[in-house]
Structure 1
Amino acid sequence: MPNANEPKLISGNANRPLAAAIARRMSMHRGLNVDLVDARVERFNDGEIFVEVFENVRGEDMFVIQPTSNPANDNLMELMIISDALRRSSAARITAVIPYFGYARQDRRTKARTPISAKLAANLLTEAGIERILTMDLHAAQIQGFFDIPVDNLYAAPIFALDIEHHFRGELGQITVVSPDVGGVARARELAQRIGSGLAIVDKRRVRPGEVAEMTVIGDVEGQTCVIVDDLCDTAGTLCKAAEVLTENGANEVHAYISHGVFSGPAIERISNSRLKTVVITDSIQPTQAVQATQNIRIVPTAPLFAQAIMNIWQGTSVSSLFAHETLAPIYEGMYALNG
């Protein structure tokens, strides 16, 4: 049943520009002014996090917007402490909006005596009083099962499909979607089906974590515009090497669509000097000045998607409807005319 009160948004410090953009989009939807709840989230001199909420939230449907990106531990603690403050202030329901869920790559035991940190993070968030999770492109779909509360996992693929149709108008017949590894084939196939393109795979062999020894292209990319799709890019080693291998196999151009631009260490320098013509990321992680200044990196907004998902959760309507092109396209109507 729809809530009688208006939904209320509160943000941590991880990505305040995205939180503000979501509030603006919700204001447009509601025809009412939706502001972020007035609060302070700061640190004492010893690094401890302190939260104070300056507005009454008793009986309210609260949405806490906070990706757990770098610094992952600080942002995760911020999210939990904000949730605890809201719970102790008698909020009716607390939904964590986590555009990027950190620790997601630690979703299984890869060797003896190692943790499953994604499960631990799920337990901590639940114990902090969070009753629902809204996130995007979890690194592994089974992470939804780590939570004993509802998890809505949105997908960037529908947004990417709209962006590709706009920027490659008239050239869709020459596009091949590429998975940078065997594990990402399902993600690449979904995008390929959305835009009606072919599919190829770059098979990689690692000698050690973060270092690729050999890559082989499975599929014909001769004369094609290749679009690599992946859920995240960390140091960009695999991504840049894949672009090089695809070019050597006859690809005319190589572009990449990445849900989460983590961009650690040498990532920006590698992308700047790579064969990649463009790297398109979302704003799930707040882009640094270096990312914004890199000429071949472009950012697509997620605020329209998250704003509508929050509205659907608040109203008790379907979130999965946002996976459909006919539902998402009107939400982004005019967006690409402005961006492109």
Structure 2
Amino acid sequence: MNNMKLIVMENCKELGEKVDEHLKRMNHNGSYIASISNERFSNGEGKIKINETVREKDLYIITDIGNYSQYYKMHGQPHYMSPDEHYQDVKRVISATCGGASKITLIMPLLYQSRQDKRKGRESLDCAIALQELEQLGVNTIVTFDAHNPGICNAIPKLPFENFYPTHIILEKFIENETEDIGNLLVFAPDMGATERARYYAEMLGCDMGAFYKRRDLSKVVNGKNPIIDHVYMGPDIKGKNAIIVDDMIASGQSMIEVAELLKDKGAKNIYLVATFALLTEGVENFVKAYEKGIFTKLYSTNLSYVPEKIKKERWYCDVDCSYQIAQIINYLNNKKSLAPLYNGKKDILDKIERVMVKCE
């Protein structure tokens, strides 16, 4: 494992250090993190320098393009970084290798521009262009989590695109915390785009599922989207059941809260919200109010993208650590082992549910 180096971008330092600790324990070795310097000129231009040799090393770059807490001084004023700027730093660090690395694997849990994955009319095709650009820059493998549209891999047919899901890790945490509720569950998709994800959760838990269809006003556009008129429910009777609402990401969260309110009105007991990425772009006031009203019991999300410490300490929020999963992926890739065992944790979840059910009897 001496041929391996981690480059942990400043936007995911805590996650990267946890991954490094796992790798150190797995391989009985010292730290794998390579030192880098990220500098900014006063007009906002930047550069990255790698402070040690990476020649003939297998590089694993870890970045969180969704971290909105990072900033730098531009013309004397604090300037908070957008996903575009985080992506630019990824290109800088690849450039700084000067072509000397043996292999470059980019670990980008929140895929850059993942929601701009298809074109309608005269629109940019940002995600596909970015993936092709990374391939041209010399990236050999891209690792991401819960891509908004997994089909985006077709933009780079010759490049390995590993799209993992933290489903079993989230469910392990859920089962550990909510033992009393797992025997009376239904899983729900908040819209038709999330049905496959909800079905997978339902299969893992061995329960039924339902879905909501978002009926939109196609004659209007508000904040770039057609406003939702109604959530039409399709599924089994909800009364007296506990519910899990699952999606890949929570942006404003308004839609998920509205679905939770509808489930409450239909007689659902405890309602749990689950998302790989809790972006919470409009703040948390709506979640605080909904929690206080008893609309939902808890929100489960991961540390794969930035969430402020203040939110992590809320009673209604549960942070799921995925650093061990990333360390496993790196270990398997570096040892040239098949990643197949890491894609499916279904057996472990089923065994855990069975043990919990036996205890509850």
TM > 0.5 fold call = yes
Residue in 1 that maps onto 2:61:
64
Residues 1:132 and 1:79: Cα distance change in structure 2 (over 3 Å): same
| 8 Å CA contact retained: 1:57, 1:89 | no
Residue in 2 that maps onto 1:221:
238
Instruction: Pick from 244, 249, 264 the counterpart of residue 232 of structure 1.
Output: 249
**Which of these two proteins has the greater Rg computed from alpha carbons?**
2
| 8 Å CA contact retained: 1:64, 1:97 | yes
Which shifted more, 177-186 or 42-51? 42-51
* Partner SS for 2:6: strand
Instruction: Pick from 133, 140, 146 the counterpart of residue 131 of structure 1.
Output: 140
The one-character-per-residue Cα deviations of 1:26-64 (angstroms, maximum 9, x if unpaired) are: 111111122411111232212122111111111000000
- Inter-partner Cα distance in structure 2 for 1:65 and 1:18: 9
- Inter-partner Cα distance in structure 1 for 2:347 and 2:143: 18
The one-character-per-residue Cα deviations of 1:229-275 (angstroms, maximum 9, x if unpaired) are: 11001111111111111111110111111001111124x11111112
Measured on the aligned residues, the alpha-carbon RMSD in Å equals 1.9
Residue in 2 that maps onto 1:252:
269
Give 2:273's aligned amino acid.
Answer: A
| 8 Å CA contact retained: 2:187, 2:210 | yes
Instruction: Pick from 146, 161, 164 the counterpart of residue 155 of structure 2.
Output: 146
Give 2:128's aligned amino acid.
Answer: K
The one-character-per-residue Cα deviations of 1:131-160 (angstroms, maximum 9, x if unpaired) are: 110111000010122224111111011112
| 8 Å CA contact retained: 2:3, 2:56 | no
* Partner SS for 2:179: coil
Give 1:77's aligned amino acid.
Answer: Q
Give 1:292's aligned amino acid.
Answer: K
- Inter-partner Cα distance in structure 1 for 2:240 and 2:343: 31
Query: What pairs with 1:29-68 in structure 2 (closer than 5 Å)?
Result: 29-68=26-65
Residue in 1 that maps onto 2:289:
273
For normalisation by structure 1, the TM-score amounts to 0.90
Number of aligned residue pairs:
324
Residue in 2 that maps onto 1:85:
96
Query: What pairs with 1:246-325 in structure 2 (closer than 5 Å)?
Result: 246-266=263-283, 268-274=284-290, 275-325=295-345
The one-character-per-residue Cα deviations of 1:48-95 (angstroms, maximum 9, x if unpaired) are: 221111111110000000122242011100111111112x05111110
- Inter-partner Cα distance in structure 1 for 2:60 and 2:114: 21
Per-residue deviation, 1:210: 7.2
Unaligned stretches of 5+ residues in structure 1: 333-340
Structure 1 runs (4+) greater than 6 angstroms displaced: 326-329
Query: What pairs with 1:67-216 in structure 2 (closer than 5 Å)?
Result: 67-69=64-66, 70=68, 71-86=82-97, 88=98, 90-110=100-120, 112-147=121-156, 148-207=158-217, 208=221, 209=225, 211-216=227-232
Unaligned stretches of 5+ residues in structure 2: 69-81, 353-361
* Partner SS for 1:159: helix
- Inter-partner Cα distance in structure 1 for 2:226 and 2:173: 29
Residues 1:150 and 1:30: Cα distance change in structure 2 (over 3 Å): same
Residues 1:211 and 1:294: Cα distance change in structure 2 (over 3 Å): farther
Give 1:85's aligned amino acid.
Answer: A
| 8 Å CA contact retained: 1:101, 1:135 | yes
Residue in 2 that maps onto 1:337:
none
* Partner SS for 1:257: strand
- Inter-partner Cα distance in structure 2 for 1:303 and 1:212: 36
- Inter-partner Cα distance in structure 1 for 2:141 and 2:342: 18
- Inter-partner Cα distance in structure 1 for 2:192 and 2:28: 46
Residues 1:237 and 1:210: Cα distance change in structure 2 (over 3 Å): farther
Give 2:244's aligned amino acid.
Answer: V
For normalisation by structure 2, the TM-score amounts to 0.85
- Inter-partner Cα distance in structure 2 for 1:94 and 1:27: 20
Q: Percent identity?
A: 22
- Inter-partner Cα distance in structure 2 for 1:232 and 1:128: 29
| 8 Å CA contact retained: 1:18, 1:284 | yes
